[in-house]
């Protein structure tokens, strides 16, 4: 007889590092380790860009679609991790943006989660909050091989009512160095075509 189903809980207190007041208590596994083990912690394949560990969009797409309830839980969890830890805030927000880019069904939830997160962090809007993180998000986007087409598709996450060509022009000063560093010639050509 099979044992009853036991849900696996992500322990924010012991496994991820306890949050007390404004400072975090260091833990041997740490918060970054939680994200680097995202597959096992969340039960779904996720794009990750961390020092020493990169999971590309190609690998995630090859794994196939993930269950919608699982992805919704992951988005909310990432938003909470970003809120409670400056150390992994960027990585968590990047992962949420990529989920939005890869899975159109999750775009509204990602927007709502980032609206909530930016408000709790005392930003005037999601757009102002993401503007501060935009350069790093775009570098990670290129590093993980996420489609630039999907970036343009989710542009309303970052800016308000902007045409694709204007959005590419807005992103260029962050995007071009990352593309050159990664020798992404075809993406550089694509940006040139769309940005004109």
Whether the Cβ atoms of residue 17 and residue 26 lie closer than 8 Å to each other: yes
Whether the Cβ atoms of residue 144 and residue 102 lie closer than 8 Å to each other: no
pLDDT in tens, 107-162: 999 999 999 999 999 999 999 999 999 999 999 999 999 999 999 999 999 999 99
pTM recorded for the entire structure: 0.81
Q: What percent of the chain is modeled with pLDDT above 90?
A: 62
Q: Can you tell me the mean pLDDT for 21-46?
A: 56
Which of the 8 DSSP states describes residue 66?
Answer: P
Q: Can you tell me the mean pLDDT for 172-196?
A: 89
What region does 64 belong to: left with phi over 0, alpha with psi -120 to 50, or beta?
A: left
Whether the Cβ atoms of residue 160 and residue 127 lie closer than 8 Å to each other: yes
Angle at 135 between CA 134 and CA 139, to 5 degrees: 115
Q: Can you tell me the mean pLDDT for 29-38?
A: 55
């Amino acid at each position: 007889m099979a044992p009853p189903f036991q849900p696996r809980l992500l322990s924010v207190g012991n496994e991820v590092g306890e949050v007390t007041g404004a400072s975090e208590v260091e833990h041997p596994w740490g918060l970054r380790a939680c994200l680097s083990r995202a597959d096992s912690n969340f039960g779904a394949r996720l794009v990750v860009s961390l020092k020493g560990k990169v999971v590309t969009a190609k690998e995630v797409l090859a794994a196939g679609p993930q269950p919608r309830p699982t992805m919704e839980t992951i988005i909310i969890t990432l938003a909470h991790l970003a809120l409670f830890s400056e150390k992994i805030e960027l990585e968590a927000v990047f992962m949420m943006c990529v989920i939005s880019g890869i899975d159109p069904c999750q775009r509204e939830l990602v927007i709502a989660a980032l609206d909530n997160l930016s408000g709790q962090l005392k930003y005037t809007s999601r757009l102002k909050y993401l503007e501060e993180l935009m350069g790093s998000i775009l570098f990670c986007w290129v590093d993980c091989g996420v489609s630039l087409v999907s970036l343009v598709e989710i542009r309303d996450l970052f800016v308000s009512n902007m045409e694709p060509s204007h959005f590419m022009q807005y992103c260029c000063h962050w995007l071009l160095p990352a593309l050159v560093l990664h020798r992404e010639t075809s993406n550089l050509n694509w940006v040139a075509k769309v940005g004109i």
